[in-house]
Amino acid sequence: MSEIISIANQKGGVGKTTTAVNLAASLAERGKNVLLIDIDPQSNATTSLGYKRSDYEFNIYHVLQGIKKFSEVVLKTNIQGLSLVPSNIGLVGIEKEFYDPRRKNRELILKQKLDEIRDSYEYVIIDSPPALGPITINVLSACDSVIIPIQCEFFALEGLAQLLNTVSLLRKTINPKLRIKGFLPTMYSKQNNLSKQVLADLSYHFKDKLFHFGKEEECIVVPRNVKLAESPSFGQSIISYAGGSAGSVAYRELASVIMRG
């Protein structure tokens, strides 16, 4: 059975896609069989791995609609062990379908589809859109756990209560096993006092939910790192684009912690 981990935060631009792509690549580098699902109409994870829209005909939208099976839309990537279910802007259409109150179990559409591939991969990583709408609800209903990237900037914790309430509500209702895998501070700058403040706030409120690797008092933070920002434009993960960079180190450490269970 695969472990299904989503990356979610309704705040935009906090590092969800960067985390999804590079965690998936780091797990694959460690020999794991990994599926990355892009379920954001912006399709940034798809593009980050070097795919253009014209390269593929079918995507996650067709799976959710029931027109295609997962196995029929999966793409290989240039990373051994990493497969991708691409997305497309057309996915915005599914939001309307998901909202339709006449549709039964509309929060569980993704979960039901995922049952089809649960035995095929060791890890399924899902990159979600910056909204707490029906797509993200489907993601949180389908996954075992969620990683919440927190950008180390002003307003970092804004909206977090709403996300945590949603997680808690879903746990009480349709997904009792859902847990918060952890908070991942992203775009951390040592020189920036605001970054330090956000990390201090996170440590104060959620100490047990930060990822620890090596020295227990230190948690994994993804530094602000230009290589991480550049790698998508080359269609590569940080592992192949700049394997020795600080960004790469952070995502490899995160993968190690995830593999430890």
Tell me which stretch binds Mg ion (CB under 5 A): 37-45, 143-151, 156-164, 178-186: 37-45
Residue 12 in contact with ligand ATP, rule: CB under 6 A: yes
Q: Which does 225 bind (CB under 5 to 8 A by kind): Mg ion, ligand ATP, none?
A: ligand ATP
**What does 92-137 look like in DSSP terms, one character per residue?**
HHHHHHHH-TTSTTTTSHHHHHHGGGTTT-SEEEEE--SS-SHHHH
SS3 assignment, position 222: coil
Residues 43-62 that bind Mg ion (CB under 5 A): 44
Tell me which stretch binds Mg ion (CB under 5 A): 17-25, 153-161, 170-178, 222-230: 17-25
Q: How far apart are CA 189 and CA 169, in angstroms?
A: 34
C-alpha distances in angstroms, 96 versus 89, 90, 141, 250?
14, 11, 18, 38
Q: What are phi and psi of 165, to 5 degrees?
A: -65, -40
Q: How far is the CB of 42 from ligand ATP (least distance, A)?
A: 6
Query: 37-76 mask for ligand ATP (x: CB under 6 A)?
Result: ---x-x-x--------------------------------
Q: Which does 29 bind (CB under 5 to 8 A by kind): Mg ion, ligand ATP, none?
A: none
Kindly state the tokens that stand for 250.
């952070």
81 versus 232: smaller Cβ distance to ligand ATP = 232
Tell me which stretch binds ligand ATP (CB under 6 A): 8-16, 106-114, 237-245, 253-261: 8-16
Q: How far is the CB of 106 from Mg ion (least distance, A)?
A: 23
Selection from 203, 186, 230, 222 nearest residue 9 by Cα: 186
Q: How far is the CB of 196 from Mg ion (least distance, A)?
A: 25
Kindly state the tokens that stand for 112.
């039901």
Q: How far is the CB of 123 from ligand ATP (least distance, A)?
A: 19
Q: How far is the CB of 226 from ligand ATP (least distance, A)?
A: 6
Residues facing residue 223 across a β-bridge: 188
Residue 17 in contact with Mg ion, rule: CB under 5 A: yes
Please list, residue by residue across 131-157, b when 16 or more beta carbons sit within 10 angstroms of its beta carbon and e when fewer do: bbebbbbbbbbbbbbbbbbbbbbeebe
